[in-house]
A and B are shown apart, each in its own frame.
Chain A
Amino acid sequence: MSFIDRMIGRKKSAGSAKERLQLVLIHDRTDLTPAELEALKDDLIEAISRHVDIDSAAVRISVAQDGRSQRLVADIPLRSASRRRSR
């Protein structure tokens, strides 16, 4: 990308192609649509909340690429037990 492009924050088409491909390939490979991923997240929050107290608003779930295989990555912040007691 040229200096001027960087200065004015213009992104070149190859960059958007790669980003768009990354997302499309994840969905092609896993058969998971963004909507299904959201539904999965809700189910996950519900199931985990039955056992521990979690900060459900901060739960992040994503599909990461590892070579040709995909993994589901969930980041689930736990609420600390002490804070819960003091509430």
Chain B
Amino acid sequence: MTATVLTITSGKGGVGKTTAVANIGVALASTGQKVVCVDSDIGLRNLDVVMGLENRIVYDLVDVVEGRCRLRQAMIHDKRVPELYLIPAAQTRDKSAVSPSDMVRLCNELRPECDWVLIDSPAGIERGFYNAIAGADKIIVMTNPEISAVRDADRVIGIVEAEEKGSPVLIINRLNSAMVKRGDMISVDDVLDLLAIKLLGIVPEDENVIVASNKGTPLALDGKTKAGQAFQNIARRLMGEEVPFLDLESQGLWQRLLGRK
């Protein structure tokens, strides 16, 4: 096995990075891939609660980096899917407890162990962000269709390119198609026009995301919700499948049942 290391980052906080890592992780692992999710948001760990694994933490990322445990000991197995693991962030330390070269070493150690490493980046463009992207093969930039999130995404894309990490791919999260339709939300095409990078996925605004994180059961465990389906589609695209983008402007259930376009 040689894992692909993906980092999800955004510049602006709260756009849905942690939600995305949990759901893409679950979706990839549901297809039989071996996935390790790494929470690199040291001091503000959250991936554990979104995944519902907070009660099983013994060791964390800083314990691994500082040699207090072996890598395997810090990998919490999510038993709902065959091969999904979480390496949680340390909660009582700060970003400076880890360096970019620590992260490169960690990623190199993980690569032969699995198919995918997904790194949840902290918001911002400081130390924690550079740690998060240091070991990545590919960067996923996440944004919301909203003016400040898009602006910050552009900054981050510029930095990623300057760091010679290649051109990142984009996920647009929390798209509200009713608002787009009435002209009160920037559309997917507008965002792509402005940012000029490749689109990886579109995730709709969906109340179920909050219900799922309340329960600690990522939506992508089943594909019954729109957001869950969107994350599953993203996972399939990552595995090289051509999956059409969800038509969110689309017709209601009745029109679909009647086969009308």
Residues of A in contact with B (beta carbons under 8 Å apart): 1-2, 5, 12-15, 17-18, 20-22, 24-25, 28-29, 65, 67-68
A68 near B157 with CB under 8 A, answer yes
Complexed CA–CA distance, A34 and B186 (Å): 25
Q: Is B223 an interface residue (CB 8 A)?
A: no
Q: Tell me the number of A-to-B contacts counted with CB atoms below 8 Å.
A: 50
Instruction: With A25-B151, A29-B158, A68-B161 as known contacts, state yes or no: A13 contacts B184, CB within 8 Å.
Output: yes
Looking at B57-65, B67-75, B190-198, B245-253, the stretch in contact with chain A turns out to be B190-198
Chain B hits for A2, CB < 8 A: 182-183
A21 near B194 with CB under 8 A, answer yes
Q: Is B150 an interface residue (CB 8 A)?
A: yes
The residue of chain A having its C-beta at the shortest distance from the C-beta of B190 within the complex is A18
Chain A hits for B186, CB < 8 A: 14, 17-18, 21
B151 near A14 with CB under 8 A, answer no
Interface residues on B, range: 20 to 34
Complexed CA–CA distance, A13 and B180 (Å): 10
Complexed CA–CA distance, A21 and B226 (Å): 29
Chain A hits for B167, CB < 8 A: 68
Chain B hits for A21, CB < 8 A: 147, 150-151, 186, 194
Chain A at the B interface: mostly helix, strand, loop or mixed? Answer: helix
Q: Is B187 an interface residue (CB 8 A)?
A: yes
Q: Is B48 an interface residue (CB 8 A)?
A: no
Nearest 8 A-B pairs (CB), nearest first? A12-B183, A67-B196, A68-B196, A17-B147, A18-B190, A13-B184, A14-B183, A14-B186
Q: Is B185 an interface residue (CB 8 A)?
A: yes
Q: Is B155 an interface residue (CB 8 A)?
A: yes
Chain B hits for A24, CB < 8 A: 151
Complexed CA–CA distance, A67 and B195 (Å): 8
Q: Is B154 an interface residue (CB 8 A)?
A: yes
B180 near A29 with CB under 8 A, answer no
